Amino acid sequence: LISFTLQNKKLMKPADQKESARRPFIFYRSQVGSQNLLESVAHPGWFVCTSCNCNEPVGVTDKHEHKKHIEFSFHPVCKPEMSPSEVSD
């Protein structure tokens, strides 16, 4: 199970940024059987990874080792019938 921490930051719209500014945040997705790899566009050979240990951040690695997971499963998320902003007391 992967958990993420949400941080508030003022971001520019990706379309307003130069390609060179967006490039570090773009990844190619390739399928390996039923799993997916996310490879950096800016740094070929580097992949998004997670640790085998709990509460460690998501990172990138160029090593294929057993201590880091680079293959992921993606599952569709069902759209809620109403958003939290539509809920009334």
- Residue 4: both structure tokens together: 């993420």
Q: Is residue 47 a contact partner of residue 61, using CB atoms and an 8 Å limit?
A: yes
**Residues β-bridged to residue 61:** 47
Question: Would you list the domain boundaries of the chain?
Answer: 25-75
Q: Residue 4, SS3?
A: coil
Predicted confidence pLDDT, tens digits, the chain (89 residues): 455 555 666 655 656 666 666 677 788 899 989 999 999 988 899 999 988 888 888 888 998 777 788 898 888 877 767 666 666 55
| Cβ neighbours around 48 below 10 Å, total | 19
pLDDT number for residue 47: 92
- Residue 52: both structure tokens together: 């085998």
pTM of the shown model:
0.60
pLDDT number for residue 19: 66
In angstroms, the CA 50 to CA 72 distance is 9
pLDDT number for residue 77: 79
